[in-house]
Amino acid sequence: MGKPTVYVISDSVGETAEFVIKAALSQFIEDGEYIMHRIPYVKNKEVLMGAVHQAKQQNAIIGYTLVNPIYGSFLRQEAEKKNVECIDIMGPMISAMERVFKLKPKLEPGLVHQLDEDYFKRVEAIEFAVRYDDGRDPRGISQADIVLIGVSRTSKTPLSQYLAHKRLKVANVPIVPEVEPPDELFRANPNKCIGLKISPEKLNHIRRERLISLGLGDKAIYADMKRIEQELEHFGKIVERLDCPVIDVSNKAVEETANMILTMINGSY
């Protein structure tokens, strides 16, 4: 006798059915000791007929998630004719919800997969923000949806992460007088570049607090007003050269700045 065989049939990806079937199989058979055939994106009855025929030949079980009731009914009839065990994995739950909730199902294949795609896009954007944070790799500038530009402590990283949760790929570039910004920045579309402006007094306060939290005291050149004014002057020259939008973040929360950026990239500036 060969390995137990299961056919997974779906009018979407078939991941839901496969997951449930594997969970059930684990109660009987070790992983790798069975054969599973997934038949996704079913669009016609011929595919269903072929699957039932193959299942009959191999003494297999069929598990399916077909939200189209016509396909589901046809598959059950074909399986019954050929005496093939055929299990509707999602149908009974949908029927119960319809009765209890007094609602009609959408009967649209792949809705869970659409949610998964949204999730994975968000994860991809978060990973992008980490990879191209603080000018680590200028190659990210050309791939980014948004490029944030600013001196140290202007909330570039928190903004990048916040916008990443909106599924936007964000790179950020620190502006330091002693370091020329990468060429990629000046080749980028200025409409996707956003400068983060801040008042010298606010930046001085933020940097002093930062130094104290690190146990370094507040007298370092990092928080020196002359140094701050020099950095901000250099920043002003860079954004003028880029001719990009600028937001004053001096008294704004990250969420407020992020909403302004979202408005900008939606073409409102």
Annotated binding site: 150-157
The terminus-to-terminus CA distance of the chain in angstroms comes to: 70
According to DSSP, residue 135 is labeled G
Q: What is the DSSP string of 35-78?
A: EEEEE-S--SHHHHHHHHHHHHHTT-EEEEE--SHHHHHHHHHH
Annotated binding site for ADP: 150-157
Q: CB neighbours of 166 closer than 8 A, spacing ≥ 6?
A: 125, 258, 262
E strands of the chain, at which residues?
Answer: 5-10, 35-39, 61-65, 86-88, 146-150, 170-174, 193-197, 246-248
Tell me which amino acid residue 11 is: D
Which neighbouring-strand residues pair with 149?
173, 195
Nearest to 5 by CA among 51, 73, 65: 51
Please state, in angstroms and rounded to a whole number, the distance separating the CA atoms of residues 126 and 153.
Answer: 20
The three-class DSSP label of residue 34 is coil
Please answer whether residues 106 and 130 qualify as being in contact, where contact means their C-beta atoms are separated by less than 8 angstroms. Answer: no
- How far apart are the C-alpha atoms of 169 and 122, rounded to whole Å? 9
What are the tokens at 201? 């007094």
Instruction: Give me the residue label for tokens 């779906």.
Output: 10
